[in-house]
Amino acid sequence: MAELKIRSQQRGIALVLVLWVALLMSVIAGSFALSARTESLQSRILLNEAQARFFAEAGLNRAVFELRNPDPETRWIADGRVHEFELDGAKIELKITDESGKIDLNQASEELLVGLFASLGVDYDESIGIVDKIMDWKDADEEIRLAGAEDDDYFSAGYPHGAKDAPFDTVPELIQVMDVGYDMYRKIEPALTVYSGRKNVNLAFAPREVLMAIDGVSGEMADIFIEERHAIEDVNAELPLLAEGYSGQLRGGGTTFSIVSKATLPNKQYAEIDATIRMGGNLQGRPFRVVRWRDNEHK
């Protein structure tokens, strides 16, 4: 009797152990299944990101191809209008802006720069002060303008650097100038360049922010001008009238362009490239050279 009882207890213990082992194996199998599913999902996301990125790069190359089109009647106009096309199911949106339509930080007149800051609602005197600091930043001397700033002013204000005393190499460098905050910079960035080499701006390609920097031009006037300009398909056509004395033609652009290429896959995931390119071959045989490149977030 005692022996039967012992055997019964042993079978019970064995059953419990078997159940625990079965439970443990189920947990391990579930973990492997979850890990495999997670890795599969991650792989799919990475694959989609890579596909969207390559489609966006394809869009940039298409933009260059269209800008080099020898036929002026079908050549794409780089005035910020959106060009759309599909490639293997992906929707690609291109926005091309000739840099000659932007305000060159190294060449533009003080009047144009003051107008740019004033268009944000910055007080006129304060706008003059910011422009004085921009001029002191890039000039080689140590003379301080009326509302400008040189090395001692920067160090006294707690900046880790003084004035550069040299031309701007990039537009983002503007953030280092005293009194130019990040929020202000983000608002005026679309209007600025260091690649046009022009003292004035080409109205044929000027973004809204640039047009509003011109004395007497309101946001509504700029919007109407851009809408009418985008309706023009012939580069030989005259521009609409922006304001008294402000007109021209679409011809006469530069060789440097900002291109925003956004590629959206059928599943809505996208990649966006924001690049500035300069026409002309390089050592690798490409028909253009990249002078600025920024990848935007993939989603």
Condensed to tens digits (0 to 9), the pLDDT of residues 135-148 reads 999 999 989 999 99
The rounded percent of the chain whose pLDDT value lies above 90 is 65
Which pLDDT score, from 0 to 100, does residue 284 have?
Answer: 67
Which pLDDT score, from 0 to 100, does residue 164 have?
Answer: 95
Q: pLDDT of 81-128, one tens digit each?
A: 999 999 999 999 999 999 999 999 999 999 999 999 999 999 999 999
Is residue 19 domain-resident? no
The rounded distance, in Å, linking the Cα atoms of 63 and 158 is 45
**Token digits of residue 151:** 């090395």
8 or 97, which is more confident? 97
Is residue 215 domain-resident? no
The rounded distance, in Å, linking the Cα atoms of 133 and 126 is 11
Which pLDDT score, from 0 to 100, does residue 236 have?
Answer: 79
**pLDDT over threshold 80, residue 34:** no
Is residue 137 domain-resident? yes
Which pLDDT score, from 0 to 100, does residue 298 have?
Answer: 47
| Model confidence pTM above 0.85 | no
CATH code where residue 151 lies? 1.10.40.60
Which pLDDT score, from 0 to 100, does residue 25 have?
Answer: 75
Residue 253: closest CA among 119, 100, 111: 100
Is residue 193 domain-resident? yes
Domain count, the chain: 1
> For residue 177, which amino acid is it?
V
Mean pLDDT of 12-18: 68
Q: Which of 3-7, 14-18, 173-177 has the highest mean pLDDT?
A: 173-177
Q: pLDDT of 229-286, one tens digit each?
A: 999 888 778 888 887 667 666 666 789 999 999 999 999 999 999 999 999 866 666 7
**180-193 as b/e, with b when 16 or more CB fall inside 10 Å?**
beeebeebbebbbb
The rounded distance, in Å, linking the Cα atoms of 133 and 136 is 5
Is residue 163 domain-resident? yes
Task: Give CA angle at 249 (188, 218), nearest 5°.
Answer: 40
How remote is the C-alpha of 103 from its chain's centroid?
Answer: 17
211 neighbors 202 (Cβ within 8 angstroms): no
Whole-number average pLDDT of the chain: 87
> Would you call 233 helix, strand, or coil by DSSP?
coil
Domain range for residue 171? 103-200
Is residue 172 domain-resident? yes
Q: pLDDT of 187-203, one tens digit each?
A: 999 999 999 999 989 99
Is residue 235 domain-resident? no
Q: pLDDT of 208-223, one tens digit each?
A: 999 999 988 999 999 9
Is residue 65 domain-resident? no
